[in-house]
Amino acid sequence: MDSPRHPLDPLTAREIQQAADVLQRHVPGSDIIFRVITLWEPPKAEMVVFLDMEHGGKETPKSPARVAKVQAHVNKTFSEFKVDLGQQAVVSHETLHGRHSHIDGEYMRKAELACMADARVKEQVASLDLPEGATVVVESWTYGPDGMNDITKRMTMCWFYMRVSDDPDANYYAYPLDLCVEMSEKLEVVNIFQLPSGENDRVETRDKPNEFDRRKIHEGSEYYPTLNTQQRTTTKPYHVSQPEGPSFAIDGNKISWEKWTLRVGFNYREGMTLHDIRFDGRSLFYRLSLAEMFVPYGDPRTPYPRKAAFDLGNDGAGLCANNLQLGCDCLGHIKYFDGWLASHAGTPLKLPNVVCCHEIDDGILWKHTNPRTGHAAMTRSRVLVLQTIITASNYEYIFLFYLGQDASIHYEVRATGILSTAPINLSTPTVPFGTVVAPGVMAPFHQHLFCLRIDPAIDGHTNSLVVEESHPLPLHPKEKNPHGVGYTTTQTYTPHETGLDLDHRVNRVFKMVNEHVRHPVTGTPVGFKLVPCYSQPLLAHPSSWHAKRSEFGAHAVWVTRYNHEEEDEEMFPAGRFTMQSEGGEGIASWIEHRRRRRRRRTEDGEGDDDEVEGGVVRDADIVVWHSFGSTHNPRAEDWPVMPVEKMVVGLKPVNFFERNPALDVAMATQERNLSVLVGGGGGAECCEEVVPGGIGAVRIF
Amino acid sequence: MDSPRHPLDPLTAREIQQAADVLQRHVPGSDIIFRVITLWEPPKAEMVVFLDMEHGGKETPKSPARVAKVQAHVNKTFSEFKVDLGQQAVVSHETLHGRHSHIDGEYMRKAELACMADARVKEQVASLDLPEGATVVVESWTYGPDGMNDITKRMTMCWFYMRVSDDPDANYYAYPLDLCVEMSEKLEVVNIFQLPSGENDRVETRDKPNEFDRRKIHEGSEYYPTLNTQQRTTTKPYHVSQPEGPSFAIDGNKISWEKWTLRVGFNYREGMTLHDIRFDGRSLFYRLSLAEMFVPYGDPRTPYPRKAAFDLGNDGAGLCANNLQLGCDCLGHIKYFDGWLASHAGTPLKLPNVVCCHEIDDGILWKHTNPRTGHAAMTRSRVLVLQTIITASNYEYIFLFYLGQDASIHYEVRATGILSTAPINLSTPTVPFGTVVAPGVMAPFHQHLFCLRIDPAIDGHTNSLVVEESHPLPLHPKEKNPHGVGYTTTQTYTPHETGLDLDHRVNRVFKMVNEHVRHPVTGTPVGFKLVPCYSQPLLAHPSSWHAKRSEFGAHAVWVTRYNHEEEDEEMFPAGRFTMQSEGGEGIASWIEHRRRRRRRRTEDGEGDDDEVEGGVVRDADIVVWHSFGSTHNPRAEDWPVMPVEKMVVGLKPVNFFERNPALDVAMATQERNLSVLVGGGGGAECCEEVVPGGIGAVRIF
């Protein structure tokens, strides 16, 4: 279908082309390089009205205007436009002075070629004295400001690797070379760095790279099947079949499955997004997405502090999305969703199969055996999986939403791919900030910090964040807790925007509740809780560029008031533009800005009655952000390609549904599930007395 | 097969019968009630020699003596015997004065009948004025000492419930009654409690129960399929098939799968155990088992502090093991293992299908796409699952070991079943220590505290526990960390036995290492790390009976020195006997005992040279214990049967293998995996330009 069916549907190919055409007509004769043509999601205030009418079913709601967000270099000026596709007109225009567009793959390739074509670089490469037949591979990275240089211009760091095999799929990260080149925006060589080769090596003392130490050439660092001959044959085939087809129904971008309905979105920056998520007709979340991620490296030696990747803000999770393959990335009965981007010329580009949708069996969902009758009741857990995978140079991230029949949502990140590597002397077997994973190959320590943006709509859009903790009751001999076993919970409503930390010692739980809707049995506000992923906050010093640029990494949970006035400014917790960002534009800054205003108003005696300006988050349209990740100190087992490291976050109802929302899942039966017995028991034995009944529990004696 | 194949195999039916016969001949004419006949696992010192020879393959090792552990009431005296099955003789005998055997289902039923037959109880039940046709159900619990009473005798608490339906599978926990009876060891009624009916109700002021409030009768609390008519029909069938059969091979109790070998054991107390766990021929763990669990309730009102269950020590995970059903508890190609227990008369009793073994697909194991060639390499993760399920009255626990192709082990607990409930006035909608889940039904807050016992054998039995933390490097302008981004790890070897806490803020990691075996590349001791489950320690006051009885709940990680002298005394972290235990016999006490001895020796100037007595755990035969669980403040969604709550613990190699141990897993292909495309794309669209290559990454522009 080439027409959008719903205001939240991503732009169609035709709409992308229309938006480009409109802009071209708007600035005739201009040189335009398109960078983004994507849906400008309708203002939330409008969408909420639309969704209420749509789900109320009373009349056909009028769709909000269909608008494209276009970012482009127009005559070399980076600008953003809103193009109203109904009116076929540009309705707003913002010049983005001092901002940089996200990574341009074509430009990065040009940077690599220009770097290699430079005479000084050639000379340096020659000094490396590489083995005959070796191929140099240059990998360009965006520049993380480190305070060493002017950071307002676009700079590119080119890191050098080598393959010793002719095969272009050989793992060049196994041979990091002692060379790094800084390229200007105009693709001129600005600096050539020799890299530190030992723990305390001073690179300033050298003016040409160390010769490549041929003793570093080794085996065992290949992962690609044609180069890695040790393929085990022991794993027998495993097939999933659904003779009656999948349990889900797809209508455009809307998925209906069991009691869930939701819409899948996709954009260049966040990749997969989920919208208007409901269970049994009740609203749960307006929008869920991974909003940012940051990968700072912990190697302090120059120039490594520049290695710090914003894989969403800079690279774009949508731009890096894999074309998922049936039977490889996805097993079973698979529905794929495609994504659409725009070329530099503004023509639509299809990214096939960027999201896969399928079911899995997840073991037992609930079970009870009545010991008095021996009768067991049990259900198996069917889970709906939505998966997308991105490749960011050396590294892969697998992002998964799991929807449960019990109204739980789990968000999982799997980190895999190849470690980013740096050269190290063979005489330096260990360094304090990395792991030597192969001869001459050091994988620096780093963190992966993700930020999941949760826009709750718990039975409506007026929600609060409650922090619950479990604490012992005071020890009162012969009074309320005579035996010292009692405990209770404290419920603290978060009054203003803030960042909060995890604390398992007091079982700290973060609940999004609607104070206007009381649970019919418990009498408490209906809610959903965040089941966090316990991980270390950002390690970099608060004064560092890393910390200033990735404000969300300082706390595990943030709550902000939805900013209806500046929706685009507060979608991304490290700021709207992360490319060579200077910091001070992230979630902590938004909060601090409003906190100061609140304090000023209070000091001025104006009271605290402007809830919007004051950042009031109780009984308000709020957004909850969960920062989590891993402190990844590489293991030898992560080389040459890393088995997935899983991180999981949960969202679970807590006194939202009247009872177990999976109570009506049908009983598991062998008639339906057709499983196969392997082997068999040990056969009849002497004195055997088979215990009857469903369980072999205590009562059998 | 009726002969044991291996010294670690559980007793066969014939051996159980032999052990009983030997004891009967040993004490002729005595009245014997058998309570336990199980394998006395060979002393670890002997087993290590055996296993080294077995795996060395040089000669057929001589098996250690085959010994049965027998616990029995002999002429009413509770005693433990070692029966050497080779010699057919009792070789040791210990009288267990003041100890109580684990729960006896037959006795508990007798207690319930005796309770109901008591005239005063009948009178009280009559006072309840129950609805016509209602059936009273009595549930007996072992007694958790609470300081109210003499605790050395065996006491039983009988809790009263009601069913309003004739169906014996009706959920009687939906109607907790205002009555509780304390029974003596001789099954006489000692005390009758009326239960508190409001938050601050004083039960002492009543001498008969409140009449049952008929307004409490409600619908919606049934879970059993014949009583719960809302069965959804939307979930379509899902089949798993393995046309070439499973990838594992079973030889008796030995499992070989991919590069793993291990042995499955089973006993009345721990249920499933794993032994001699190796990967690629290298030793990882001598033994893994859930060693204890404790479920203390947080309701402080009399008599609820007596509700505190040791589901292993008192109930026995083996005794409560479910008979797992094909296609219900287990999906796919399933191998079952049976368990064997003994009856009161000493005859063998078979518990069929107590452990199931099968494979699952767990998504992607590793992937990388080379952005320069567009070529992706990826493998799917096959996982071996070993599952057992126990029913402890109202509650179910599912225990799972997951073995990965990447040499990871994950241990998962899924809590399900029915909440334990207490009556509450309809006029008391909330209490501070529980959740009202249905009219008149209060589910008190409680904790589930598990203790996983990890007996490491990391390339041998001389191991150490290292605590690793990640910390920022000091901020040194222009020196070693000029930009404030550097970080490093600290490695602290634990010198003596101790309990340790989790701390995600510093990325605290617990590693079991072998200092005698260095990794060929990293040069560091080979190791495995514990990936802990973050959860709250025991909430009960340290002076409480709960705390004294469940010492393991005070810290998340414990390390002890393997006690070769008293192996049986230090297998269970709440003590060898938990039934009505008085505390002071658990893991903290063992450690404290040796700590005092060490201090005394130091003070006496004798030095610290006796490593065994001094509890030295560096470079020693150590045991690591992980206490974890959940603070379970019930949700309405946990009623009337609870969707599984998952808790996961990991064990992962860290610089143990030279490289990714899953590097040789075969590539995933559709040819082998035969997945099915659902629906299809949106068809050809205008302007479509399909991007070639394996990924749709940045470089497509």
Enumerate the residues of chain B whose CB falls inside 8 A of the CB of residue A330: 675
Query: What is the CA angle B187-B193-B196, rounded to 5?
Result: 150
DSSP per-residue letters across A317-333: TTTTBB---BTTTB-SE
- Which range of A101-105, A476-480, B192-196, B417-421 scores highest in mean pLDDT? It is B417-421
Amino acid present at B287: R
For A54, the 3-state DSSP assignment is helix
Residue with more model confidence, B228 or A287: A287
- Asked if A232 lies within 8 A of B322 by C-beta distance, the reply is no
- Closest approach of chain B CAs to the CA of A346, in angstroms? 11
- Asked if A398 lies within 8 A of B367 by C-beta distance, the reply is yes
Distance CA(A641)–CA(B512), nearest Å, equals 24
The whole-number pLDDT of residue B202 equals 61
Distance CA(B409)–CA(B418), nearest Å, equals 29
Enumerate the residues of chain B whose CB falls inside 8 A of the CB of residue A378: 328-329
pLDDT over 80 at A289, yes or no: yes
Among A317-321, A487-491, B144-148, B620-624, which stretch is predicted with the lowest mean pLDDT? B144-148
Enumerate the residues of chain B whose CB falls inside 8 A of the CB of residue A105: 697-701
The tokens for A410 are 């789990």
Tell which of A1, A173, A238 to mutate to test the B interface (max B CBs under 10 Å). Answer: A238
pLDDT tens for residues B597-613?
888 888 887 765 677 77
Among A60-69, A598-607, B577-586, which stretch is predicted with the lowest mean pLDDT? A598-607
- Considering only the beta carbons, identify the residue of B169, B245, B689 that sits closest to A349: B689
The whole-number pLDDT of residue B148 equals 65
Residue with more model confidence, A477 or B385: B385
DSSP per-residue letters across B157-171: EEEEEEESSS-TTS-
A572 touches chain B (CB under 8 A): no
Mean pLDDT of all residues in B12-27: 97
Among A385-394, B469-478, B579-588, which stretch is predicted with the lowest mean pLDDT? B469-478
- Closest approach of chain A CAs to the CA of B357, in angstroms? 9
pLDDT over 90 at B189, yes or no: yes
Of B395, B397, B411, B562, which is the active-site residue?
B395
Q: Which residues of A are catalytic?
A: 311, 395
- Considering only the beta carbons, identify the residue of B234, B488, B643 that sits closest to A406: B643
The whole-number pLDDT of residue B64 equals 95
Mean pLDDT of all residues in B515-541: 97
Tell which of B5, B637, B686 to mutate to test the A interface (max A CBs under 10 Å). Answer: B637
Distance CA(B486)–CA(B491), nearest Å, equals 17
Among A155-164, A533-542, A676-685, which stretch is predicted with the lowest mean pLDDT? A676-685
- Asked if B639 lies within 8 A of A659 by C-beta distance, the reply is yes
The whole-number pLDDT of residue B118 equals 96
The whole-number pLDDT of residue A201 equals 65
pLDDT over 50 at A682, yes or no: no
Interface of A with B in 256-285 (CB under 8 A): 258-259
Bridge partners (DSSP) of residue A431 are: A434
Bridge partners (DSSP) of residue A290 are: A452
Amino acid present at A630: S
pLDDT tens for residues A9-61?
999 999 999 999 999 999 999 999 999 999 999 999 999 999 999 999 877 78
Distance CA(A637)–CA(B659), nearest Å, equals 4
The CA-based dihedral angle spanning residues A696, A701, B3, B7, taken in that order and rounded to the nearest 10 degrees: 80
Closest CA to B129 of B157, B167, B162: B162
The tokens for B111 are 């207690």
- Considering only the beta carbons, identify the residue of A357, A400, A669 that sits closest to B328: A669
Tell which of B401, B504, B649, B670 to mutate to test the A interface (max A CBs under 10 Å). Answer: B504
Looking at chain A, the whole-number percentage of residues with pLDDT higher than 70 is 94
Locate the chain B residue with the closest alpha carbon to A16: B687
- Considering only the beta carbons, identify the residue of A104, A235, A519 that sits closest to B382: A235
Q: Is B217 exposed, middle or buried (0-12, 13-18, 19+ CB in 10 A)?
A: middle
Locate the chain A residue with the closest alpha carbon to B662: A643
Closest CA to A73 of A92, A98, A101: A101
The whole-number pLDDT of residue B605 equals 76
Q: What does pTM read for this prediction?
A: 0.96
pLDDT over 70 at A624, yes or no: yes
- Considering only the beta carbons, identify the residue of A235, A241, A347 that sits closest to B241: A241
Q: pLDDT tier at A574 (50, 70, 90 boundaries)?
A: very high
pLDDT over 70 at A697, yes or no: no
Beta strand segments in A7-155, E: 32-39, 67-74, 77-84, 89-95, 135-142
pLDDT over 80 at A3, yes or no: no
pLDDT tens for residues B373-409?
999 999 999 999 999 999 999 999 999 999 999 999 9
For B214, the 3-state DSSP assignment is helix
The whole-number pLDDT of residue A655 equals 98
Query: What is the CA angle A622-A550-A449, rounded to 5?
Result: 85
Mean pLDDT of all residues in B212-220: 96
pLDDT tens for residues A171-208?
999 999 999 999 998 999 999 999 998 877 666 567 88
The whole-number pLDDT of residue B693 equals 33
The whole-number pLDDT of residue A695 equals 33
Contacts of B136 (CB under 8 A, 6+ apart): B116, B125, B130, B160, B161, B162, B177
The whole-number pLDDT of residue B228 equals 82
- Closest approach of chain B CAs to the CA of A667, in angstroms? 7
Residue with more model confidence, A1 or A300: A300
Of B9, B118, B276, B311, which is the active-site residue?
B311
B697 touches chain A (CB under 8 A): yes
Q: What are phi and psi of A259, to 5 degrees?
A: -95, 5
Longest dimension (CA), chain A: 95
Type and span of the H or E element at A55: helix A44-56
- Asked if A108 lies within 8 A of B682 by C-beta distance, the reply is no
Strands B676-678 and A333-342: parallel
Q: Would you say B128 and B114 are in contact if contact means Cβ atoms under 8 Å apart?
A: no
pLDDT tens for residues B630-674?
999 999 999 999 999 999 999 999 999 999 999 999 999 999 999
Query: What order do you get walking across the sheet with A487-493 strand by strand?
Result: A487-493, A464-472, A509-518, A525-531, A642-654, A409-417, A395-404, A375-392, A348-370, A333-342, B676-678
Helices (H) and strands (E) in chain B, counts: 7, 33
For A611, the 3-state DSSP assignment is helix
Enumerate the residues of chain A whose CB falls inside 8 A of the CB of residue B422: none
Residue with token string 């075996």: B517
pLDDT over 50 at A687, yes or no: no
Among B57-61, B109-113, B262-266, which stretch is predicted with the lowest mean pLDDT? B57-61
Give residue B42's region: left, alpha or beta (phi > 0; psi -120 to 50): beta
Enumerate the residues of chain B whose CB falls inside 8 A of the CB of residue A478: none
A367 touches chain B (CB under 8 A): yes
Q: pLDDT tier at A2 (50, 70, 90 boundaries)?
A: low
Q: Would you say A640 and B663 are in contact if contact means Cβ atoms under 8 Å apart?
A: yes
Helices (H) and strands (E) in chain A, counts: 8, 33
Average model confidence (pLDDT) across chain B: 92
For A507, the 3-state DSSP assignment is coil
| Peptide bond between residue B303 and the one before it cis (omega within 30 degrees of 0) | yes
Distance CA(A635)–CA(B592), nearest Å, equals 35
A3 touches chain B (CB under 8 A): no
Enumerate the residues of chain B whose CB falls inside 8 A of the CB of residue A357: 678
The whole-number pLDDT of residue A456 equals 98
pLDDT tens for residues B89-123?
999 999 999 899 999 988 899 999 999 999 999 99
Enumerate the residues of chain B whose CB falls inside 8 A of the CB of residue A519: 636
pLDDT over 80 at A688, yes or no: no
The tokens for A700 are 């059998």
Among A134-148, A306-320, B171-185, B535-549, which stretch is predicted with the lowest mean pLDDT? A134-148
This complex has an ipTM of 0.96
Among B38-52, B77-91, B144-158, which stretch is predicted with the lowest mean pLDDT? B144-158
Q: pLDDT tier at B272 (50, 70, 90 boundaries)?
A: very high
- Closest approach of chain B CAs to the CA of A545, in angstroms? 8
